[in-house]
Amino acid sequence: MIAEHKPREHQDKPVIQDPHCFVHCASYPSLQWAQHQNGVFRTSNAGEHWERFEDIDSSTFGFAVAVYPTDGSTTWLVPSESDEVRFPIDGRIVVTRTRNRGKSWKRLENGLPQQDAYDLVFRQAFNVDDSGNCISFGLKTGWLRISGNQGDAWTTASQNLLPVYCVIFAE
């Protein structure tokens, strides 16, 4: 990882990194993803070497990341504009998914607000269930979105909660 917002001589030091969210694949714990202050990173060797993704379809800035529990090839992000503009890109909420460990990304927006959406997904407010099919995220304005098909289509589960800080699936 690299902390570009720190002095150059310290940017690669582990103790000053600024991961917004860090997840691992349950079946392959050494496969880990991080949504970081300076982008999206993945490691397949428990953090010895991190690969940075800069060619994602939308922004590489955001706070939330979720990974498929039995196959770390599939990962989802909820991108935001930037550190300075903490809103969805162009006022459109999207989820970005890779099925091939970050080689390519697809924007998922079916059922999500595509105009005048300025909600933020907090760090722990995005999760995937144990089956890997149901994913959900909550917004700071109290909306809860859910997908039963890995993000291909979304529905609103609730729109009147308090700010959603965490999403957890019960067993």
Q: Say which CATH number the domain at 153 has.
A: 2.130.10.10
In whole angstroms, give the CA distance from residue 120 to residue 128: 18
Amino acid residing at 66: A
| Per-residue confidence band for 81, with pLDDT thresholds at 50, 70 and 90 | low
* pLDDT surpassing 70 at residue 57: no
Residue entry with tokens 């105009």: 115
* pLDDT surpassing 60 at residue 169: yes
Residue pLDDT, tens place only, 107-148: 899 999 888 888 888 878 999 999 999 999 999 889 999 999
Q: Note whether residue 106 is domain-resident.
A: yes
Read off the pLDDT of each residue in 35-48 and give the average, rounded to a whole number: 77
Q: Note whether residue 90 is domain-resident.
A: yes
| Per-residue confidence band for 18, with pLDDT thresholds at 50, 70 and 90 | low
Q: Note whether residue 46 is domain-resident.
A: yes
* pLDDT surpassing 90 at residue 1: no
CB 132 within 8 A of CB 99: no
DSSP characters over the chain? ---TTS-GGGTT-GGG--EEEEEE-SS-TT-EEEEETTEEEEESSTTSS-EEE---SS-SEEEEEEE-SS-TT-EEEEEES-SSS-S-GGG---EEEESSTTSS-EEE-TTS--SS------TBSEEE-TTSS-EEEE-TTS-EEEESSTTSS-EEEES-PSP--B-----
Read off the pLDDT of each residue in 19-25 and give the average, rounded to a whole number: 70
Q: Note whether residue 31 is domain-resident.
A: yes
The whole-number pLDDT of residue 17 equals: 60
Q: What are phi and psi of 91, to 5 degrees?
A: 70, 25
Output the CA angle 101-138-67, nearest 5 degrees.
20
The whole-number pLDDT of residue 87 equals: 60
How many domains are contained in the chain? Answer: 1
Among 37, 5, 2, 12, CA closest to 22: 37
Q: Note whether residue 1 is domain-resident.
A: no
Q: Note whether residue 165 is domain-resident.
A: no
Q: Note whether residue 171 is domain-resident.
A: no
Residue entry with tokens 């990173």: 41
* pLDDT surpassing 90 at residue 162: yes
| Per-residue confidence band for 84, with pLDDT thresholds at 50, 70 and 90 | low
% residues pLDDT > 70 (the chain) = 77
Q: Report the mean per-residue pLDDT for the chain.
A: 82
Residue 117: give the domain boundaries: 8-158
Q: Note whether residue 71 is domain-resident.
A: yes
